[in-house]
Structure 1
């Protein structure tokens, strides 16, 4: 026979202790304190994977020797690489925006004063690249229309790469 036992003081006490321990483990990431103060290196470590993803996507594009004309001529591999790059720059912007957005589940904290201006610059450049990536992906990219959209995407992605490279000194 299964019995349901009323809660005892020891079970209630154990539950409260467990809840207290869980509450002590704040929901911050990467060693951020509850007051959202991150070190420069902690904040930069959030930028590192974004930088890597953008670099890898642009490197793939270049290794394939793709161009806007190749896409306009129907090169499926180059078109696929441009779609991947478009996704990478859109994701970069979303991640950059999320790490400082207090209502986002990926919130990490605010940038330290030393890198605040660089973060704002990076976010601005990433927003432009995001828009180019989105425009390329939503266009369906039919022949000659692709040339301008691809030029914008590649140029904005290169600008984002350049801005992300400014984080290198903080990643050592």
Structure 2
């Protein structure tokens, strides 16, 4: 019997979120460690610390349109998968009850959430090849919320696989949690409507 604790949602991989939050807050400036100079004058010691900035591409801010483009691509995948889910009248309970099409769609939903996490995190990672720049203040909170929802959804779908479905009703809690995380991700995408 598999048991899935809701605390696992809190154990999501947060590297991308930390990078995005740091980039949003302007903490990733590429500064060298502080230079320190110590001088002694007549028994008194004075220490001067001075930060030495170095040029860094992480200081560039991407436009709202650039970030909206990243989100639009992920939202399209979400919308296509969600529409298939709705058209098939699927639910997490139907998947647990043995509806093979719903089971396959739930696994696809997990992949869509994982792709969103990787793509958005990559666009926010100043050390990565897909980095587009810091998000403007206007969308920072929304972007962080969307990335967080993608991470949580990815994590929620992780235990939902064929082994879980083989357990039948024992899988209901995990599948239901994953479906709720999916809906939350959809809500975050809907909040991007003014920018898309």
Match of 2:85 in 1: 61
Deviations 1:73-118 (A, max 9, x none): 2111111111111111111111111110122222222211111111
Match of 1:143 in 2: 168
The answer to whether the 8 A contact 1:68-1:146 is kept is: no
In the alignment, structure 1 segments of 5+ residues that lack a partner are 1-32
Tell me how far apart the structure 2 counterparts of residues 96 and 34 of structure 1 sit (CA, whole Å): 16
TM-score, normalised via structure 1 length: 0.74
SS at match of 1:144: helix
Matched, 1:41 2:86: no
| Structure with the largest fraction of helix | 1
Runs of 4+ residues deviating >6 angstroms: none
Q: RMSD of aligned C-alpha atoms?
A: 1.9
TM-score, normalised via structure 2 length: 0.65
Match of 2:31 in 1: none
Match of 1:169 in 2: 194
Deviations 1:44-83 (A, max 9, x none): 1111011111121111111101122222221111111111
Q: How many Å apart are 1:138 and its aligned residue?
A: 7.9
Tell me how far apart the structure 1 counterparts of residues 58 and 168 of structure 2 sit (CA, whole Å): 52
Match of 2:138 in 1: 114
Q: Which of the residues 69, 73, 84 maps onto 2:97? A: 73
User: How many residues are treated as equivalent by the alignment?
Assistant: 139
Matched, 1:104 2:128: yes
| Structure with the largest fraction of strand | 2
